[in-house]
Amino acid sequence: MLHNNRPKIKVPLEPIDTIIEATTAALLLALWLYVIVTYMSLPETIPTHFNYKGEVDGTGTKNIIWFLLGITTVIAIGMHVLTKFPHIHNYMVNITEENAEHNYRLSSRMLRYVNFLTLLLLAYVCYAMMQKALGNNAFTGEIMTYIMIVYAVIMPIVLIVFMLKNQKAPK
């Protein structure tokens, strides 16, 4: 669907938006610093996959950390950039001059939350791989499997409910 007729307005950030963006940027920076500081200490072969019990069932070269870090960075920056263009997001209502600011704010905020949570998850995966490689006990057991399942199932439901509940501009 073309979005040429949607209003293109700049939605000012509210304090919560600034906090989410700053926290996301700080987490990404901390991840980079952690990888840079720890990388040389890693053995040449590191865990790359864990079964549902947290046991290593796949290994690879330590260079895979850079690939994971690169993908994580591209996703985080890509989602951040996307928050700047809410007129191209998908909406369940027709966007008009009257409801544009409200819907754009909600959509951008939701994307900021998704960005933060996705970065948190990918940062944890990177951290767990490196900690296991160093012989430390990273939190990768059955509990983590359940957390991942809840994240994958509950998050989309929460996002859909959030969008449905907040579609119309306040009167």
Q: What is the 3-state secondary structure (H, E, C) of 40-61?
A: HHCCCEEEEEECCCCCEEEEEE
- Where are the domains positioned within the chain? 15-42+57-165
pTM listed for this prediction: 0.83
Tokens linked to 80: 């951040």
- For the segment 89-97, the average pLDDT, to the nearest whole number, is 86
- For the segment 109-131, the average pLDDT, to the nearest whole number, is 90
pLDDT tier for residue 95 given thresholds of 50, 70 and 90: confident
Is residue 157 within a helix (H) or strand (E), and if so which, with residue range? Answer: helix 142-165
Is residue 61 within a helix (H) or strand (E), and if so which, with residue range? Answer: strand 56-61
Residues in the chain: 171
Nearest to 110 by CA among 164, 168, 32: 164
The answer on pLDDT for 171 being more than 60 is no
The answer on pLDDT for 4 being more than 80 is no
The answer on pLDDT for 169 being more than 60 is no
Nearest to 3 by CA among 87, 104, 124: 87
d(CA 7, CA 169) in angstroms, rounded, equals 15
Q: What is the mean pLDDT of the chain?
A: 87
Question: Dihedral sign, CA of 148, 149, 154, 156?
Answer: positive
Rounded to the nearest angstrom, the gap between the alpha carbon of residue 60 and the centroid of all alpha carbons in its chain is 24
Query: What's the pLDDT score for residue 92?
Result: 80
